[in-house]
Amino acid sequence: MSPTLKNYLDENQVPYEVTAHPEAYTSQEIAATLHKTGKRLGKVVMVKAGDRLVMCVLPAHELIDIGRLETILGSKQVRLATEEEFKNIFPDCDVGAMPPFGNLYHVPVYLDERLAQYDKFYFEAGSHTEIVTMSIDDYRRLVSPQVALFGKFSRPKAA
């Protein structure tokens, strides 16, 4: 677990649970290894809006709707960020396994409203082998994310 995240949660006396799982790199793999629904798994997607980085947190089974996000962020230059653009911002995390606490790394956070509807959710804890489960209310209190609808359901590719 990211030491930055652990210290922050402990200092704020927030109840949370850490669960180890076999190494997994995609949100769908994580959900499958844990036998949990991807609807409550908050995946982090980093985007560039002009020259700034933004952290988007949405259900694992959804994709970013760039058009909606452009409207929400007020930028016509929104694209997925490359790992090279953000890997140094999260020094205590495996690349691609950042927890949805951009506030701890000076990155604005946007939470998809579909994920915000649940009482609890889970997310990567800074490594590809652990997740944290906690209350969405505690998360919103600690992170103060902007809540908006920017996810869209992914559809399987036709054969």
Task: State how many domains the chain has.
Answer: 1
pLDDT of residue 107: 97
Instruction: Give the residue among 72, 70, 43 at the shortest CA–CA distance from 55.
Output: 43
93-142 residue pLDDT tens: 998 899 999 999 999 999 999 999 999 999 999 998 999 999 999 999 99
Establish if 46 belongs to a structural domain. Answer: yes
Establish if 158 belongs to a structural domain. Answer: no
pLDDT reading at 159 higher than 60:
no
Mean pLDDT of 58-79: 93
pLDDT reading at 30 higher than 90:
no
Establish if 157 belongs to a structural domain. Answer: no
Tokens of 67: 């058009």
What is the 3-state secondary structure of 81-134? CCHHHHHHHCCCCCCCCCCCCHHHHCCCEEEEHHHHCCCEEEEECCCCCEEEEE
CATH of residue 34's domain is 3.90.960.10
- Domain residue limits at 98: 3-152
Query: Residue 156 has what DSSP assignment?
Result: P
Establish if 159 belongs to a structural domain. Answer: no
pLDDT reading at 92 higher than 60:
yes
